[in-house]
Chains A and B, each alone.
Chain A
Amino acid sequence: MDLETGIFELYRKVATSLPPDVEEALRGALKRERGRARYFLEVILENIRIARAKTLPLCQDTGIPIFFVEAPPGISEQRIREAITRATRRATQEIPLRPNAVEPVTNTNSDDNTGREFPIIYFRSSQKNNLRIDLLLKGGGSENVSQIYKLPEESLGAGRDLDGVRRCVLDAINRAQGRGCPPYVVGVAVGGSVDQVSLLGKRLLLRRLDEETEAGLSEFETRLLRDINSLGIGPFGLGGKTTALAAHFDYAHRHPATYIVAVTISCWAHRRGRLIWR
Chain B
Amino acid sequence: MKPRRIQTPLSEKDVRKLRVGQFVLINGYILTARDRIHRFLFEERPDRREIPFELEGAVIYHCGPVLRETDENYRFVVGGPTTSARMEPYEWFLIKHYGIRGIIGKGGMGENTLKAMKEEGCVYFHTLSGCAALLADRIREIQGPWKEEFGLPEAMWLLYVEDLPALITMDSEGNSLHRKIRETSDKALRRLLKR
Q: Which residues of A contact B (CB under 8 A)?
A: 36, 39-40, 43-44, 46-47, 50-51, 54, 56-62, 96-100, 102, 107-109, 111, 139-141, 144, 156-157, 167, 170-171, 174, 177-181, 227, 230-234, 236-239, 267-269
Contacts and interface: CB of A to CB of B under 8 A. Distances in A.
A269 B130 contact: yes
Contacts of A59: 78, 80, 130-132
Contacts of B137: 50
Given A43-B131, A96-B66, A178-B129, 13 more contacts: A56-B136, A57-B77, A96-B77, A97-B66, A98-B64, A157-B195, A170-B189, A178-B178, A180-B107, A230-B188, A234-B181, A236-B128, A269-B130
Contact of B132 (A57, A171, A231): A57
Interface in B62-92: 63-68, 77-80, 82-83, 85-86
Contacts of A236: 106, 126, 128-129
Contacts of B83: 140-141, 144, 179-180
Contacts of A109: 150-154
Given A50-B134, A98-B65, A230-B192, A40 B77 contact: no
B153 A56 contact: no
Interface residues of B, number: 48
Interface in B149-174: 150-154, 167, 169
A111 B48 CA distance: 29
B79 A60 contact: yes
B174 to A, nearest CB: 18
Contacts of B128: 40, 43-44, 47, 236
Nearest to A179: B107
A111 B64 CA distance: 13
A227 B78 CA distance: 35
A239 to B, nearest CB: 5
A54 B137 CA distance: 11
- With most chain A CB atoms within 10 A of its CB, the pick from B1, B82, B185 is B185
16 contacts: A40-B128, A47-B128, A50-B137, A61-B80, A61-B82, A96-B67, A98-B64, A99-B151, A99-B153, A111-B151, A174-B186, A177-B108, A177-B185, A231-B188, A236-B106, A237-B108
A205 to B, nearest CB: 16
Contacts of B51: none
- With most chain A CB atoms within 10 A of its CB, the pick from B132, B136, B137, B152 is B132
Contacts of B86: 144
Contacts of A177: 107-108, 178, 181-182, 185
B96 interface: no
Nearest to B68: A96
A239 B181 contact: yes
Contacts of B66: 57, 60, 62, 96-98
Nearest to B191: A230
